[in-house]
Amino acid sequence: MVYRFIMNTAFSGVPRLRSLILFCFAAASICRPAVADFNPQRIGFTTIQPTSYADWPTAFLAGNGKIGIMVLGKPRNEIVVFNDRGFNLSNGTVRSFDQVRAADLETIRNDCAAGNFAEADKLAATAPHYKGGGDGSRHPGYGMFITIPPAGEVHDYLRTCDFRTGEITVKWTDDRGDWIRKAFVSRKDNVDVQLLTAPTKGSLTCSIRLDTDPGMGLPKDMQFASTASPDVLTIRAKYKPKLDVGYEGVTRVVVSGGTCSVDGSTLNVADARSVLLISRTAKYFDHCEDQWNKEEIQKDLATLPANYDALFKAHVAVHEPIYDRVKIDLGASPEERAKTNEDLLAEQKTSDVPVPALWERIFDAGRYYFLSASSDQTPPDLLGMWNGDCRAGWGGFYHLDANLNLQVGGGNIGDMPEAMEGYFKTNEAWRADFETNARKLLGCRGMVAAGNTPGPQSGLISGISEFYPYQYATGEEDWLLYPFWEHYLITGDQEFLRNRLYPLLKDMGEFYEDFLVKEDANGKYILAGSVSPENQPSNLKVSLVNNSVFDLSGARFALTTLIQTCNILGLDQGPGGDVEKWTKILNKLPPYRINNDGALQEWAWDSLDDPGYGHRHSSHLLPAWPYREITPESDPVLYKAALTALAKKDEHLIGAGHGILHDGFIAAVLKNDESVRNKIMRLTKEDFYFYSLFSSHNAKHDIFCADTCNAVPGIMMEMLVSSEPGRLEFLPALPLELAKGSISGVKGRCRVTVENLTWDKSAHTASSVIRSNIDQSITLIERDGIDGIKTDATVSDSPFGPIARVIQLKAGVSTPVTLELGKLRPHLTNLALHQPATASSDDGKNLATAVTDDDIGTRWSSKNADDQWIYVDLGSVQKIAKVRLDWETSAGKDYDIEVSDDGQSWTTVKSVTDNAKTGWLDYPDLNTSGRYVRINCKTRITNYGFSLWEIQVFGF
């Protein structure tokens, strides 16, 4: 097979790698049956070697959601870090808080209703007498250190990860020939498997030991003991001397040929053909020494076949079918797909348009990391499940007000129910503690979520303070329940709805019965005690207030969904029944509000002013995503207000990955293709991705974190396929530059699978095959307009006009549908690209022509004086919709954007005053025309000249 040839050939650097992959494309045209499943963009690879343990964030990763490994990839001094879902530092304490007195709860409610928020906040923070505790930071378990004697210089280094199979390889060449190591984590057998093989010109000699590295930052009072024999390596750890909580790692060793000897805890192998290493880890929450002595892991490992290929085949049979259900093709060339991860990332940094091969690969990598960090028991945490340093950001916990919700955003529509099962079980496991939170902290039945937690074993509230009165973040659990409802919308599984979601929703119905007791002057309920995560009104600087949209939209979702669920299942019906009661509560919830900017307001309360738009949470836009309560068709006024709120946020460079990601999901649902594009461009240009295509929390590789890599595939699916009951929309937020491509396997929230969608915007076509699992009518939408449609199904016009058609689908029938697209939605083009530019002056080095060269590393800089200008000649009079300016640090403070037909007489279309921002600034909705566009620079924000990296002019 050509595919196996790629994975098993020792590459000679990047050129040889590219030629091999190109060879496979040529071979595929000759021997198609043998390579029918080969898809080169589903492999990640790098030629960069790590130099020390400090490079652990760049490791290649494998896992099954329960156990995992991080392969640093050092050729002759390898370190493989072992991770386990149970690895959290333990100290023997538990989180605790008191039952808040009813009188205190009443005082807090009354103070909030009266607008005495500071007083309410102080009492809410002190009344519970909160005490921290519980498991601490996630940590690495230990390392496997593999040492090979040197023999000449290492060259032709390559590290790969096949996302379809989860196999990691490390390849290099030295004086002994070509080397290869392989590793994967089995979903079938729950083991880490590694194969070390002899070089092509000699035998394998190495030493192997299980140990820790100082860079892991493990507590000094942790106790470790390692042992070695020719057949088994073990390491055992105890967290504290007096705490009987610990863990162990066991490796079964199978040596083919050669000899073995033991030196203390190190196994020495000489002159072997291969070494097979089969490992498993486990944490014991009590009586750890008794568990060690049972040697259950050793017994289980002994039952597995001592054959790498057999173990790998069993794993691939489980992993690959799940992974392969959704595939994307964004039109990258074979040459682009043959580039290393680092080459693609570098290319994106210098390009102002998407690099399709990189976007394909981060999609593929993200699905791989999400699946590899998920099991049927748990979802990914902040770290996915990997960590090389126990001093993880925010403990590496599950964070429930944004991060976890974002990471699972593509799990249902990406057809990974096996991964989502762990999410569902974990939320169900938290239920009892969430009920304790509600009862003790708010005096209510139902549930209040935890804020953050180390795992499913603890759902008690994570912290209470005046800035974080998170017992009043009552919308948190509602957001966590949305994926349950989404699963039902996709599958129609009424057993799941009845037995798993309904009990949780009913909990929330009872919560709102007890919690909503105060009314405003209009007879609407007051969420008296309400939080918008990490935000405070700008005029109060108090966290505990009323009617945050975070909490309000959550209540609206939970009650609406509970009522729908009861109606579907025939539960809680009849006069005076629960459904009637919940409907009355729903109808008394306050409406959303629109602020003076025309944006959706963060708090639906008169005296509260929105904070600045530059904060990292977008909690007030939950009605757009995930709830889809606000759409162009359902409420055009609120839809415009949500778009305005997003546009205001887009004027700021939010630093946290989760903030960019949430806005990316929101932009996709709001059909804002440019906003989606800019979010993914930021993530790929600003070093949110390591060379493994795992990700960081912030730019510049700051804080190892799974948010970005796990969430981006969900955003991409949403930009290509949007859905809700009875509706399916193609290409709602497709970036302009991705004019051709395809995606397959996306699940719709209308019980429809998009088996394939292929688009060509230049030809104005979109072809698809869709399959419904029930007989139904679906409204199919494409906002360019549908000029024509070809399908075997019955088609009729839609009340939505030329953007939609109603299609009759039969259960289980794959229905081809080809759309001839119209031009209702304008597609903007950068009219300034490579056009001539002229300036009043320059500094002698940075010339005017740099602003249109599509190179963000070159710029124009004027002389050090006010009153300068630069203009672009578009070649002819053009319709102009928008101008984008990329200011260098020496930006303009006051300037005008002007247009002219003749280059002599200028008309001002936008005046900017008191600008203090650098970087990209957008000026949309100009609706003007002209041949020349001038930036008339009046005053500077520095003592240097005006300096622009790029000027972009978008028109039709």
Cα separation, 809 vs 493, in Å, equals 19
Q: Write out pLDDT tens, residues 583-604.
A: 999 999 999 999 998 999 999 9
Q: What Rg do the C-alpha atoms of the chain give, in angstroms?
A: 29
Q: What is the mean pLDDT of residues 734-752?
A: 96
pLDDT band for position 348 (50/70/90)? very high
| Residue 855, φ and ψ in degrees, nearest 5 | -125, 110
Burial class (CB in 10 A: 0-12, 13-18, 19+), 924: middle
Is residue 873 within 8 Å of 838, Cβ to Cβ?
yes
Q: Which two tokens stand for residue 904?
A: 């002599």
Cα separation, 690 vs 684, in Å, equals 10
- Continuous H helices in 219-266: none
Is residue 753 within 8 Å of 730, Cβ to Cβ?
no
Nearest partner of 239 among 440, 61, 359, 91, judged by Cα = 91
Q: 490 Cβ partners below 8 Å, 6+ apart?
A: 412, 413, 747, 748, 749, 751
Q: What is the mean pLDDT of residues 783-802?
A: 95
pLDDT band for position 917 (50/70/90)? confident
Does residue 12 surpass a pLDDT of 50? Answer: no
- The CA-to-CA distance between both ends of the chain, in Å, stands at 48
Q: What element of type H or E holds 666?
A: helix 657-669
Q: What is the DSSP letter of 262?
A: E
Does residue 665 surpass a pLDDT of 70? Answer: yes
| Residue 292, φ and ψ in degrees, nearest 5 | -60, -45
Does residue 856 surpass a pLDDT of 80? Answer: no
Nearest partner of 650 among 681, 609, 604, judged by Cα = 681
Q: Which two tokens stand for residue 361?
A: 């690969």
Is residue 551 within 8 Å of 475, Cβ to Cβ?
yes
Q: What element of type H or E holds 155?
A: strand 155-162
Q: Write out pLDDT tens, residues 230-239.
A: 999 999 999 9
Q: Which two tokens stand for residue 144?
A: 């496997």
Nearest partner of 886 among 847, 834, 923, 921, judged by Cα = 921
Q: Which two tokens stand for residue 23?
A: 């060879």
Using the Cα atoms of residue 551, residue 555, residue 558 and residue 561 in order, give the sign of their dihedral. negative
Does residue 31 surpass a pLDDT of 50? Answer: no
Q: Which two tokens stand for residue 229?
A: 């024999």
Cα separation, 295 vs 83, in Å, equals 20
pLDDT band for position 40 (50/70/90)? low
DSSP string, 337-386: HTS-HHHHHHHHHT-SS--HHHHHHHHHHHHHHHHHT--SS---BTTBT-
pLDDT band for position 612 (50/70/90)? confident
Does residue 85 surpass a pLDDT of 60? Answer: yes
Is residue 76 within 8 Å of 227, Cβ to Cβ?
no
Is residue 243 within 8 Å of 91, Cβ to Cβ?
yes
State the chain's maximal CA–CA distance in angstroms: 89
**Per-residue pLDDT at 740:** 96
Q: HEC string of 891-916?
A: CEEEEEEEEECCCCCCEEEEEECCCC
| Residue 909, φ and ψ in degrees, nearest 5 | -110, -15
Cα separation, 232 vs 279, in Å, equals 10
Q: Which two tokens stand for residue 563?
A: 């009522």
Q: What is the mean pLDDT of residues 181-209?
A: 98
pLDDT band for position 17 (50/70/90)? very low
Cα separation, 461 vs 49, in Å, equals 43
pLDDT band for position 22 (50/70/90)? very low
pLDDT band for position 614 (50/70/90)? confident
Q: Write out pLDDT tens, residues 425-453.
A: 999 999 999 999 999 999 999 999 999 99
pLDDT band for position 913 (50/70/90)? very high
Q: HEC string of 839-890?
A: ECCCCCCCCHHHHHCCCCCCCEECCCCCCEEEEEEEEEEEEEEEEEEEECCC
Cα separation, 907 vs 797, in Å, equals 44
**Per-residue pLDDT at 697:** 97
Cα separation, 355 vs 349, in Å, equals 10
Cα three-residue angle 57-62-63, rounded to 5 degrees? 115
- What are the distances in angstroms from CA 43 to CA 526, 558, 693, 738, 745? 53, 41, 11, 21, 19
pLDDT band for position 41 (50/70/90)? low
Other residues' Cβ atoms within 10 Å of the Cβ of residue 42:
24
For residue 169, give the 3-state DSSP assignment. strand
Q: What is the DSSP letter of 166?
A: T
Is residue 42 within 8 Å of 325, Cβ to Cβ?
no
pLDDT band for position 510 (50/70/90)? very high
Is residue 223 within 8 Å of 313, Cβ to Cβ?
no
Cα separation, 348 vs 346, in Å, equals 5
Q: What is the mean pLDDT of residues 568-574?
A: 94
**Per-residue pLDDT at 855:** 81
**Per-residue pLDDT at 241:** 87
Lowest-confidence region among 12-16, 117-121, 297-301, 751-755: 12-16
Nearest partner of 539 among 463, 599, 465, 595, judged by Cα = 595
Helix axes 356-372, 673-685, angle to 10 degrees: 80
**Per-residue pLDDT at 651:** 84
Q: 638 Cβ partners below 8 Å, 6+ apart?
A: 592, 594, 600, 623, 630
**Per-residue pLDDT at 827:** 65
- What are the distances in angstroms from CA 801 to CA 530, 550, 637, 783, 798? 41, 33, 19, 10, 6
What average pLDDT does the structure give for the chain?
Answer: 93
Q: What is the mean pLDDT of residues 832-839?
A: 95
Nearest partner of 837 among 873, 806, 875, 788, judged by Cα = 873
Does residue 25 surpass a pLDDT of 80? Answer: no
